[in-house]
Copies of this chain bind each other. A is one copy, B any other.
Amino acid sequence: MENFTAYNPTTLHFGKDVLRALGPTINRFGKKVLLVYGQGSIKKSGLYDEIMTYLNAIGAEVSEYGGIRSNPVIEDVDAAAAIGREKSVDVILAVGGGSVIDSAKVIAAAIPADVPAWNFFVRRAMIRCAVPVVAVLTLAATGSEMNQFAVVSNHEAEVKNSIGSPLLFPKHSFLDPQLTVTVPRNYTAYGITDIIAHALEAYFGKGEEATLTDRFVFDIIKEVMEYGPQLLDDLTNYELRAKIMFAATMALNGMTMYGRASGEWGVHSIGHILSLLYDVPHGASLSIVYPAWLKLQKERLPERISQLGRNIFGTGDVDKTITMFEEFFRRIGSPVRISEAVGEKADPDEIFRVMGSNKAATYVHKLDQDDYREIIRLMM
């Protein structure tokens, strides 16, 4: 096993009606709240009103920033941080999926630093403090509710990039599976893909001797492969929503990294390019890239892929394992080729160019220019 440090201070409130504790929780941090949310679904669902009721009950002064996009952009972060700074907010309340929570984390760091938020991503600024973030999760996928990472796009720089800091863990996250029952079928499927991809990025990282952690990875994948398709046939089933929501959090809260020196994250990096260029939903980008990446790696990592297949599908055959992942993604309706996601508009040369500037190769299993070309070919 590789040396590692485990640290995760987030308090997770999971289950039916846990939002009842939201008011008192916010109140511990202060009255001046910056409410951050996405493109209005929380207003349609009534969640916005419910949350305002809790905030009014504690006499909160609420500022708000709505309109965070599903692939969040740095301009929204800076605009929201300006509001938070002007109002000297005590706490940020993020209500939404990973994009909203990720944005809230960067806003939290940008408010006290008083610099353009992109500076954190290019290491022109360090995260030295952050406004506390409390999250209410409405989409099971990214795990942002219980980790220290944030991913944001900068279209001007043609980069979708991530940052992490122990200061960015949400202080509290509220996970009521009831809030996810309105998530449509396709985004539910992309969430399932995201969970599997997170588990795989850990598995293909540095630290193959972490046998118990590998078991956790297999179980997360088996859990969502068993219950994910059932959920897609029964979208309002609480128990199934709960299982997937819980699995999403476990897939990226640190535990899949115990005993490893680093995760792989090459697939995410390439997936981010598809999101950046063609606005492919994050999870959908991963079901496109992962099969291609596995095919590229199959002669380089045969034992690792074979062990994965044995544990997930009961086959040690590498090709069969990759096919079965691809079949699973197809079955749940998550695309496995770029064309399935964006039709004919994807341009291999454009992807190749942006891959280079994103330095997609700087990962555990290094990729060179020929590998980029091959992965793109396999994704088309």
User: Taking beta carbons and an 8 Å cutoff, which residues of A are in contact with B?
Assistant: 1-16, 18, 146, 209, 211-212, 215-216, 219-220, 222-223, 227, 239, 242-243, 246-247, 250, 255, 258-259
Contacts and interface: CB of A to CB of B under 8 A. Distances in A.
A5 B12 contact: yes
The 8 closest A-B pairs by CB, nearest first: A3-B15, A215-B219, A6-B12, A7-B11, A212-B223, A1-B242, A9-B9, A4-B14
Contacts of A146: 6
The complex is assembled from copies of this chain, and their number is 2
A209 to B, nearest CB: 6
Given A6-B11, A227-B211, A255 B258 contact: no
22 contacts: A1-B239, A3-B15, A4-B14, A4-B15, A5-B11, A5-B12, A5-B13, A5-B14, A6-B14, A7-B10, A9-B9, A14-B259, A212-B219, A212-B220, A212-B246, A215-B219, A215-B222, A215-B223, A242-B259, A246-B258, A250-B258, A255-B255
A146 B7 CA distance: 10
Contact of A14 (B3, B10, B227): B3
A5 B1 CA distance: 29
A16 B261 CA distance: 13
Nearest to A16: B3
A240 to B, nearest CB: 10
A209 B1 contact: no
Nearest to A214: B219
Contacts of A11: 5-7
A361 to B, nearest CB: 28
Contacts of A258: 14, 246, 250
Contacts of A220: 212
Nearest to A238: B1
A3 B8 CA distance: 20
Nearest to A12: B6
Given A209-B239, A212-B220, A246-B259, 6 more contacts: A3-B14, A5-B12, A211-B223, A211-B243, A216-B219, A219-B219
Nearest to A217: B219
A215 B312 CA distance: 13
A6 B170 CA distance: 13
Contacts of A255: 255
A337 to B, nearest CB: 30
A255 B239 CA distance: 19
A13 B250 CA distance: 20
Given A6-B14, A12-B7, A255-B255, A1 B243 contact: yes
Contacts of A242: 1, 259
A275 to B, nearest CB: 28
A4 B18 CA distance: 9
Among A12, A212, A246, A250, find the residue whose CB has the most chain B CB atoms closer than 10 A: A212
A325 to B, nearest CB: 19
A167 to B, nearest CB: 14
Contacts of A3: 14-16, 18
